[in-house]
Amino acid sequence: TVSEQFLQELPKCEHHLHLEGTLEPDLLFPLAKRNNVTLPDTFPQTVEELQQKYTQFKDLQDFLNYYYIGTNVLIQEQDFYDLAMEYFKKVSKQGLVHAELFYDPQSHTERGISLDTVTAGFNRACIDAQQQFGISTRLIMCLLRHTTVPECLDLVNSAKALIQDGTIHGIGLDSAEKPFPPELFKDCYSLAKSFNPNLQLTAHAGEEGPATYVSNALDHLNVTRIDHGINSTQDVELLKRLANDRTMLSVCPLSNVKLQVIDKVGNLPLQQLVDNNVPFSLNSDDPAYFGGYILDNYLQVNREFPQWDYNTWIQIAKNAVLGSWITEKRQDEI
């Protein structure tokens, strides 16, 4: 193992963080009150009861059911700003220097909240995070794969100006993975890319879904990064491809345990990724739900991969910098 202080001070980049997944119970209930939002009768009614529920989820869908109810309390531009600022405040104390942040506009537009309201709140927080904490940021707009392709095409079209001016730096694909293979969203990705050749592309694949979803995301969506991707280890040829192309996997250790993708962090195939030279970063996914922010994920991996020395950790941190969608100047600064 390495010292916890070393991991605390190590400059860290996060590439897999859903802003809506940073909604802590102690913000959820006040926002519900502030916005007069009634939560379903079946939803826990106190912070304690909700925290209790978050100790374990059956699977990804069980978590998503709570996650989408949580999003209902976000209404005003200020709510989105406050949510993101709470996240930045926490991780600024954990050695985070760069964050690439997912958000799910469709979970808000379906309730009549405009894409511009959501994006403006999150983007204003990003600007303040740079100013107040020196954290650089990128926003990644996700398509919800449980919705329909026409709905996703509508979202991409409505985001045209934000994609063109770079406010939206990347496109992602999330929500229930298994019955929705990445290739379904091929036209959505190519349309988005046609708006701005500098747009970056990633997709959740190989979390609950098989390695073929990872290959298909590379082949059909032209992504340059894979979110989760741990099931890539089912296919040795795919591992070679990821290593050769320097395609980074954004791995989320505590998430995988809470969603019962694996039974403990030590069972993640991280040593196999290291041995095959596949770049990966460590991330928190939905930290309010999964019991830990970025540093907590690093610390848990350190405990369960005690064979890793300082050089291994420095290489992981470097790969995270190199896999970030930032300028060479910013890479050198970090």
Q: Answer yes or no whether residue 174 interacts with ligand ADE by CB under 6 A.
A: yes
> Would you say 282 and 324 are in contact if contact means Cβ atoms under 8 Å apart?
no
Place of tokens 């190199």: 322
When CB distances are held under 5 to 8 angstroms depending on the partner's kind, the choice from Zn ion, ligand ADE, none that residue 175 binds is: ligand ADE
Query: Nearest distance from residue 116's CB to ligand ADE, in Å?
Result: 22
Per rule CB under 5 A, is residue 285 in the interface with Zn ion?
A: yes
The site map against ligand ADE for 46-65 (x = CB under 6 A) is --------------x-----
Does 207 participate in catalysis according to the annotation? yes
Out of 10, 14, 17, 21, the only residue in the binding site for ligand ADE (CB under 6 A) is 21
Four-residue CA torsion sign, 286, 236, 177, 222: positive
CB of 256 to ligand ADE, least distance (A): 9
Residue 284 binding ligand ADE, by CB under 6 A: no
Is residue 175 near ligand ADE by the rule CB under 6 A?
Answer: yes
Residue 181 and residue 213: Cα distance in Å, rounded? 6
* Set 207, 208, 237, 304: catalytic member: 207
- Alpha-carbon radius of gyration of the chain: 19
Cα separation values, 57 from 63, 262, 266, 312, Å: 6, 12, 19, 32
Enumerate residues 186-245 that contact ligand ADE by CB under 6 A: 204, 207
* Contact flag: residue 18 with ligand ADE (CB under 6 A): yes
Tokens of 125: 């927080």
Q: CA-CA distance, 281 to 297, in Å (whole number)?
A: 11
Distance CA 137, CA 127 (A): 8
- For Zn ion, give the closer residue by CB, 208 or 285: 285
Q: Is 221 helix (H, G, I), strand (E, B) or coil?
A: helix
Other beta carbons within 10 Å of 303: 12
The smaller minimum CB distance to ligand ADE, of residues 59 and 275, is found at 59
Q: Which residues of the chain form contacts with ligand ADE (CB under 6 A)?
A: 18, 21, 60, 67, 174-175, 204, 207, 255, 285-286
Catalytic residues: 207
Q: List binding-site positions for substrate.
A: 286
Q: List binding-site positions for Zn(2+).
A: 16, 18, 204, 285
